[in-house]
Structure 1
Amino acid sequence: MKRILGWSAVVLLALLAIFVVRNYQRVALGGVKVYETTPPRLPDRIQRPAILVFSKTNGFRHEEAIPAANALFAKFATDQGWGYFQTENGAVFNRDDLSRFDAVVFNNVSGDVFTAEQRAAFEQFLRVGAGFVGVHGSGGDMTYNWRWYVEDVIGAQFKGHPMFPQFQPAKVRIEDRSHAATREMPAEWLRTDEWYSFEKSPRGTSYNILATLDEKSYAPKGLFGKDLSMGEDHPIIWWHCVGRGRVFYSALGHRAEAYSEPQYAAMLLGAVKWALRREGSECEVASATDASAP
């Protein structure tokens, strides 16, 4: 038994060492600093409505999930007759190029990915009525240089996920089944994922919680036994408005196989339809504060 435990410890340390080596600059040093200034060439014609799928990572990179999610969103576009463009070039976030899209999908985006001008273009894009769908790692940084993004777009500061085991089965409770993303979901959803915890719940007057995590169904313990519990209110999927823009975030989706799960794919399809204003009537009128923003 001692020999088995000893080998288990060696394996765990080896896996941790591989992680550190692969992600040292991206994580331990606060992320790489790569900013594009020349935008990609867009197709001459892009069908409307159109989605821009963005998967740039200056922080931790979800190597397996990103291509799987890109393929799923491309399939959505083909099946639904939407325009589609995928890139990791942050310079596409300029007023002219963004005007050719109706929603942007952040596919596991991480780190500080934009220049000041690109940030401003993205913020204006949302406020005037575009849509945003954020997936998993797009809300999973320990720190953010751009506080508007974490406070006004995602709405919650990530603090960690379980380790040893990293992936656990857990129960997701669907709170609101009136939304396009959750309309076909069961009241309780048992699935395996890397479960995010946040510093506090985004629940409030401007954030609408669609699903919460039952902490009794898994062990919310992080590295070195860190307590990641949030209590009874542990949101995992939600939406809100930024000006007239529709913002949806799901903390699910670390593993590539998630994007072949029928229920998860259906949830994301509903989210994109909603972000494109093909479903729902939310965010039609901007608040006084948002309406006056630049």
Structure 2
Amino acid sequence: MKKVAKVFLYSLLGLILLLVASAGLFIYKVKNGFPVSYETEPPAIDFPANKPAVLLFSKTTGYRHGESIDASKPVFRQMAERNGWFVYETEEGGAFNPEQLKQFRAVVFNNSTGRVLNDEQQQALSQYVEAGGALLGIHGSGDDSHHWPWYENNLLGARFSHHPLNPQLQPTTVHLDTTTTDSTLTRQLPPAWTHTDEWYVFFTQPEGVRVLSHIDGDKIVANGNVLLINDKNFGMGKYHPVAWYRTVGQGKTFYTSMGHHAPVWQDPHFVRLLENALHWAID
């Protein structure tokens, strides 16, 4: 009987250690990603004449929002068809070279997480933006797994802390910011609408940006504590930005923390927000 109890206790201890190790590995992957390789071969791209080109980049080496990425692609194709754009979809970094980047009017980091570009590709993207290009980021593209100061400063203007966990997805009201006067960004959007998402919490308000939309941070549960993490029970306050934009050199950046799961791509207001952002970037 004692032998059975000892085997049971050792098995239980082993299971606990395995769970702790797995949780630690998952947290490390979310924060740092596991870059396996960087694709450096420029792809063969047939750019149609007289169509503004958009690079839709969905590579991940950190947490993968697979359902959202898959749901987004047909929506971007429909946008392209409506507006006469050419969308090139890829998860390989080879297109991030100066010669091909300059043929795109906008680059979209579509829930890209982790370190997805090598040093030369990062430099090519930053130079592309500063010379007049546009970079747009969606949801996971704003987490803390990228480890790229230029990107954090010029796309986000803030450092990601956490997202709520209980509940993870919450409905709340998204408000257009009253200071936004750019009619391209606000076109066909109501002053407010209800949206369900995983609401990212940043350590500070984004700096050097103009806010397009916000939520009331006092109306969500922002607690992100889990396992041994017990310092994430805070939010961004009542004024909680969820979409913002800015100029960078001669170029532009736009970011929205919305876009966690597949159903967001059925929200016509969320889709219109991104379509407006692309018009703003391209035009």
User: 1:183 and 1:259 mapped to 2: Cα distance?
Assistant: 18
Contact preservation (8 Å) 1:46, 1:100 = no
Is 1:255–2:261 an aligned residue pair? yes
Is 1:86–2:92 an aligned residue pair? no
Please name the residue that 1:140 is paired with. Answer: 143
Contact preservation (8 Å) 1:211, 1:235 = yes
Please name the residue that 1:97 is paired with. Answer: 100
Please name the residue that 2:195 is paired with. Answer: 191
Is 1:41–2:44 an aligned residue pair? yes
Contact preservation (8 Å) 1:212, 1:235 = yes
Q: Which moved more, 1:28-37 or 1:191-200?
A: 28-37
Q: Alignment partner of 1:240: what SS?
A: strand
CA shift for structure 1 position 138: 0.7
% identical equivalent positions:
37
Stretches of structure 1 that go unaligned for 5 or more consecutive residues are: 1-12, 278-294
Q: Alignment partner of 2:81: what SS?
A: helix
Task: Compute the RMSD of aligned alpha carbons.
Answer: 2.4
Contact preservation (8 Å) 1:47, 1:83 = no
Is 1:166–2:197 an aligned residue pair? no
Q: Alignment partner of 1:38: what SS?
A: coil
Please name the residue that 2:158 is paired with. Answer: 156
Match of 2:53 among 41, 50, 54: 50
User: 2:35 and 2:126 mapped to 1: Cα distance?
Assistant: 23
User: 2:206 and 2:64 mapped to 1: Cα distance?
Assistant: 25
Is 1:118–2:121 an aligned residue pair? yes
Contact preservation (8 Å) 1:48, 1:101 = no
User: 2:156 and 2:89 mapped to 1: Cα distance?
Assistant: 21
Is 1:66–2:79 an aligned residue pair? no
CA shift for structure 1 position 190: 1.9
Give 1:62's aligned amino acid.
H
Higher alpha-carbon Rg: 2
Give 2:55's aligned amino acid.
L
CA shift for structure 1 position 193: 0.5
Q: Which moved more, 1:116-125 or 1:177-186?
A: 177-186
CA shift for structure 1 position 32: 2.9
* Residues 21 and 201 of structure 1, relative CA distance in 2, 3 Å threshold: closer
User: 2:128 and 2:31 mapped to 1: Cα distance?
Assistant: 32
User: 1:247 and 1:228 mapped to 2: Cα distance?
Assistant: 27
* Residues 20 and 251 of structure 1, relative CA distance in 2, 3 Å threshold: same
Contact preservation (8 Å) 2:68, 2:259 = yes
Contact preservation (8 Å) 2:33, 2:113 = no
Contact preservation (8 Å) 1:53, 1:86 = yes
User: 1:153 and 1:188 mapped to 2: Cα distance?
Assistant: 24
Contact preservation (8 Å) 1:126, 1:132 = yes
Please name the residue that 1:274 is paired with. Answer: 280
User: 2:261 and 2:140 mapped to 1: Cα distance?
Assistant: 11
* Residues 29 and 50 of structure 1, relative CA distance in 2, 3 Å threshold: closer
* Residues 76 and 150 of structure 1, relative CA distance in 2, 3 Å threshold: same
Q: Alignment partner of 1:234: what SS?
A: strand
Please name the residue that 2:30 is paired with. Answer: 27
Give 1:181's aligned amino acid.
L
Q: Which moved more, 1:223-232 or 1:253-262?
A: 223-232
User: 1:21 and 1:68 mapped to 2: Cα distance?
Assistant: 29
Give 1:157's aligned amino acid.
R
* Residues 114 and 185 of structure 1, relative CA distance in 2, 3 Å threshold: same
Stretches of structure 2 that go unaligned for 5 or more consecutive residues are: 1-15
Q: TM-score, normalised by structure 2?
A: 0.84
Contact preservation (8 Å) 2:80, 2:86 = yes
Contact preservation (8 Å) 2:210, 2:246 = yes
Contact preservation (8 Å) 1:39, 1:89 = no
Q: Deviations over 1:169-206 (max 9, x none)?
A: 12222214533233333333221110001010014xx3
Q: Alignment partner of 2:185: what SS?
A: coil
CA shift for structure 1 position 34: 2.3
User: 2:53 and 2:209 mapped to 1: Cα distance?
Assistant: 25
Contact preservation (8 Å) 1:51, 1:85 = yes
Contact preservation (8 Å) 1:171, 1:191 = yes
